[in-house]
Structure 1
Amino acid sequence: MAEIAPRQLILTLYGLYARDEHNWMSVSSVVRLMGDLGVDSAGVRSSISRLKRRGVLLAMKAGSAAGYALSESALEVLREGDVRIFDRRRARASEGFLLVVFSIPESEREKRHILRTTLSGMGFGTAAPGVWVAPGHLRDEVARTLERRGLSPYVDLFSARHEGFSSLCRQVAQWWDLDSINAEYGDFLERFSDAESRWKGSDDGTRTAFEIYVPMLTVWRRLPYLDPGLPPDLLPDGWLGGRAADLFGDLDALLRTPAREHAVTTIRA
């Protein structure tokens, strides 16, 4: 089971807590909260520097306290992520598919990598060279993301339906690596299936909730982007996505408030 990178935990902290604290957290509060998650101060400062270089965090002082705020582009990504993570629905067969066809001149070939990374990061599969496919209900989100990243001039979007001749289930299994996605869901279930009992058996409910909730959300927030959200009748037998989503929903309802209490108390101390 892969370790969670400190920078991913920091981004989760900012997404959960900084936005309601005037989009700012002091370095000292981030160090304390990350300490609760088992990350030492050197690792925290190194990860913050990396996020700053990437334009995710902006250095900002509040009085004499040094801290960081999320950049506007990072805030936009997090706002869109809120929908995928907390309010996601599975596609219906009647909605068909969204096709993305792109053509990028050789002089701008670096944009091909950016576009492919963007599409795969939104759950697209590859139907053919230069042709990417996703469930149709993602159209508006995809259009906004491509426009925000300056990629829309290279892309055409099409609504499509599968009319033959091969089995759609067989095609879907070729367009996406569903086995790999299912294994990720299995890892999530293995990692957090005992989270409720760990929390209920703890002596410090708010801190333990925080120690479970932030890593849990950090692991989970990748999954709605890997999983295209296909209709249930196109998913393979033994699909674990439903069980994992139920576990996430249960733990979110159980731990979000006490975890927030611990975080906010630390931030405002």
Structure 2
Amino acid sequence: MDSRPGSTTSVLRTVIGLYLREAGGWMASTTLVELMQAMEVPATLTRTALTRLRKKGVVVAAAREGMAGYELDSRAGRMLERGDRRIHNPRSMDADDPWCLISFSLPESERERRHQLRRQLHWIGCGMVSPGLWVAPDYLRKEIEEILESLDLGGRAVLFTTSRPHVTGELRDVVAGWWDLDAVAALYRDFIKFHEHIPAGEVGANPHTFATYVNLIDRWRMIPYLDPGLPTDCLPSDWPGGEGVAIFQQISESHALASKAFVNSVVGSR
């Protein structure tokens, strides 16, 4: 989440997330440079971005058979596995699905951990009812528990499973105060505008297909984290999520395998 979609670092992170594991967990530096050149990114910018990702703990420099290259940091591997579930399988609630409440209280002396907790809850799609009470679809419970464990706050928070909230007035109006749905809708609309003119149908295993697919994932991957997948009757009537998901799935179906074949051809040439 700390890289702007479309930036060199973000695009490289997307390439690594999509293909480094499938390449045996390691890629030569020259391979990564060549793949990024297919994205019209110069080699100098790719090398700078690799340094940034190494400092962030995403990749680790590792030579194999005398060739310089990179492998995933073990923590990044777990993060990417969680990301796979979110990015490629966007979920949404039905009206009767359970919700999860997260209640916690941390003193001012622990404000840094409190800030980190709130920040991470926000970035996985939780909404804030009040500073110490957050809400999410119950299918996010495992990710919430992982955040609490990583911050050593498992004993400082209580999770409740609850049915549909009962509020005064329309739930749609109340929910709009828990999540910044306008910001999420803007992400969807930007995504739709960028991709709606890409034709459907069979494509070849070439640099253009690869670039199209990587850009698709790079511009999409933040959306299913920030969008909790609320029931339809909790969303604005002009919610663009359905159209965004449909475009994502259509291009994924036509481009994913051909893009992978192109990457395999580049990896194999090394």
Counterpart residue number, 1:22: 24
Structure 1 unaligned residues grouped into runs of 5+: none
Q: Give the secondary structure class of the aligned counterpart of 1:31.
A: helix
Q: Distance in 2 between matches of 1:14 and 1:245?
A: 23
Matches within 5 A, 1:98-247: 98-161=100-163, 162-196=165-199, 206-247=206-247
Contact residue 102 and residue 133 of structure 2 kept, 8 A? yes
Tell me which protein shows more helix as a share of its residues: 1
Counterpart residue number, 1:79: 81
Aligned residues: 265
Contact residue 11 and residue 214 of structure 2 kept, 8 A? yes
Q: Distance in 2 between matches of 1:79 and 1:253?
A: 20
Q: Give the secondary structure class of the aligned counterpart of 2:62.
A: strand
CA shift for structure 1 position 176: 1.0
CA shift for structure 1 position 197: 6.2
Counterpart residue number, 1:267: 267
TM-aligned CA distance change 1:151 to 1:219, over 3 Å: farther
Structure 2 unaligned residues grouped into runs of 5+: none
Contact residue 104 and residue 133 of structure 2 kept, 8 A? yes
TM-aligned CA distance change 1:164 to 1:198, over 3 Å: closer
Deviations 1:162-205 (A, max 9, x none): 123332111101111112211111111110112226986xxx65
TM-aligned CA distance change 1:122 to 1:220, over 3 Å: same
- TM-score, normalisation: structure 1: 0.92
State the AA in 1 paired with 2:12. I
Contact residue 192 and residue 244 of structure 2 kept, 8 A? yes
Counterpart residue number, 1:59: 61
Q: Distance in 1 between matches of 2:202 and 2:216?
A: 13
State the AA in 2 paired with 1:44. T
CA shift for structure 1 position 12: 1.2
Q: Distance in 2 between matches of 1:196 and 1:24?
A: 33
Counterpart residue number, 2:49: 47
